[in-house]
Structure 1
């Protein structure tokens, strides 16, 4: 595939057509029959999109089904206790995503319980960015748009920018829009089929060649988790969730400090003092993860 020469221009029409033919052929060859592809329920698809943002497909398969057993509809999620939502989310990445899902579900439920299909309405929901909105629109409603996530970037960079570094999304988004089918008139080449092909081809590329998405300007190497501030926050939340059954409904700061220090020392790090624990709890409470009930911290 000829590389894009003019930084501000789309590839030639014939090159876009060749690109689409290549992607659709690879998509048929590499298709993954994933459970969230067997539904058009926008709520279920929304959950899969958020889970897949930071977690491997193999891990999401199973967790997604269990989530839907616990919270089968957007109304059920909205009515759930936030602590139950956070507890179910453990091991699936940033906890703020679970809290955003819960808050967004409440907004949708209050508006009638139907997930919107409009791009602006989706992006107005807590935690829903352009890629998540485009994914919901594509896979639930078969609506066109620029669904630009890491596997899609990998294909665009591999096929159209094979020798370029630090390629900005501003050059990729117009190509994503131009190559996306405008409607669902052809079931073999509708929006769902097109983006499944890009996702599966991109996953294949990342497993077989040096990851092309690293040549995206938006690529950020994940910082080390173990020993980080993020890790301590996550551990504090796990301790709080583990103490939900305590007769007091939570945990005092001294006990939390002991348990957090035990975890840190087991990993070869120094323990934390009460002031460290207090700072973490205050930070988490400001974001809505917990609250102070007298001398007891609760989720």
Structure 2
């Protein structure tokens, strides 16, 4: 592997050891010797890589594997996904408990963009990939890295934790970006980003497993030397049970099983304690439907003086 620039910018260099080349080599050798085997790591096809990235945004990787395989069995190519009925894609997302359903909508729309606007070929740069619906900077950079070896240094919560502990980088987004960029060898974003994310996910978890996982950076690690394994706070997710997110998912799932439903027929299928004029009644249900309509997932129309909801096709 190449060592990349011998000197990082001054702001990043103050946090890094002098032997940056040895730090890089140790991590890549550790990763290539043994790492978790996820199927999307065995391909450079941007379509399945994009699917894996979108699925894993709010879901543990081990839980994503089966859903990812099922998704690609249903829609094996970007053209197949583009031609799919959006309601089927959203229903799949809900059935597999993959989080916010608008991600399914955006993934479907991105597939249409690739086929209709890019002649079936994915953009190969982070900036180009961000032109796709729902693809933000992090996802774009990940796909550029893992599909085309053409990305920048990935910085997620795991990477921030690694840099904070190993090199005493302050809890500052700009500092994390600078140090991560200085560490990554030029032109090797695929292996490097996989390796440093693996380090954060296997050895440098919230509860570190330095020795058990054979962390390759123990010789340079500030936390390992001092015994202080504090790290930046990680935001906690609100409880899912009974949440609006759960109820929105139920609305989508129920509507996926029917062409359309009046509100008073939909409501009891979403909450058993639905009462038209109660706390969880028409006003509450209409709020969920308005949110879903804003996301482009649901349509509500008046029919014979009654509000009727259906999935947007």
What RMSD over aligned residues (CA atoms) do the two structures have, in Å?
Answer: 2.7
Q: Which residue of 1 aligns with 2:155?
A: 148
Q: Which residue of 2 aligns with 1:282?
A: 290
Q: Which residue of 2 aligns with 1:161?
A: 168
Q: Which residue of 2 aligns with 1:256?
A: 266
**Candidates 36, 39, 45, aligned match of 2:43:** 39
TM-score (normalised: structure 2): 0.79
**How far apart are the structure 2 equivalents of 1:271 and 1:260?**
14
Structure 1 window deviating more from structure 2 (81-90 vs 172-181): it is 172-181
State the 1:7 CA deviation: 10
**How far apart are the structure 1 equivalents of 2:274 and 2:172?**
39
Instruction: Output one character per residue of 1:240-263: Cα deviation in whole Å (capped at 9) or x when no partner.
Output: 2232xxxxx122110111122217
State the 1:18 CA deviation: 4.2
Q: 1:59 to 1:141 in 2, by over 3 A?
A: same
User: Are 2:129 and 1:122 aligned?
Assistant: yes
State the 1:156 CA deviation: 1.7
User: Are 2:240 and 1:233 aligned?
Assistant: no
Q: 1:12 to 1:261 in 2, by over 3 A?
A: closer
TM-score (normalised: structure 1): 0.82
**How far apart are the structure 2 equivalents of 1:127 and 1:286?**
15
State the 1:50 CA deviation: 1.0
Q: Which residue of 1 aligns with 2:217?
A: none
Q: Matched residue of 1:209: which SS?
A: coil
Structure 2: which 5+ runs fail to align? 1-8, 210-222, 224-228
**How far apart are the structure 2 equivalents of 1:97 and 1:85?**
10
**How far apart are the structure 1 equivalents of 2:137 and 2:32?**
26
User: Are 2:183 and 1:179 aligned?
Assistant: yes
Q: Matched residue of 1:297: which SS?
A: strand
Instruction: Output one character per residue of 1:10-47: Cα deviation in whole Å (capped at 9) or x when no partner.
Output: 33462533432342243245411211111110111111
**How far apart are the structure 2 equivalents of 1:129 and 1:15?**
34
**How far apart are the structure 1 equivalents of 2:24 and 2:195?**
10
**How far apart are the structure 1 equivalents of 2:47 and 2:56?**
14
Contact 1:82–1:99 (Cα < 8 Å) also in 2: yes
Instruction: Output one character per residue of 1:133-178: Cα deviation in whole Å (capped at 9) or x when no partner.
Output: 111111111114121123222322221127x5xx122111122222
Q: 1:214 to 1:73 in 2, by over 3 A?
A: farther
Q: Matched residue of 1:117: which SS?
A: coil
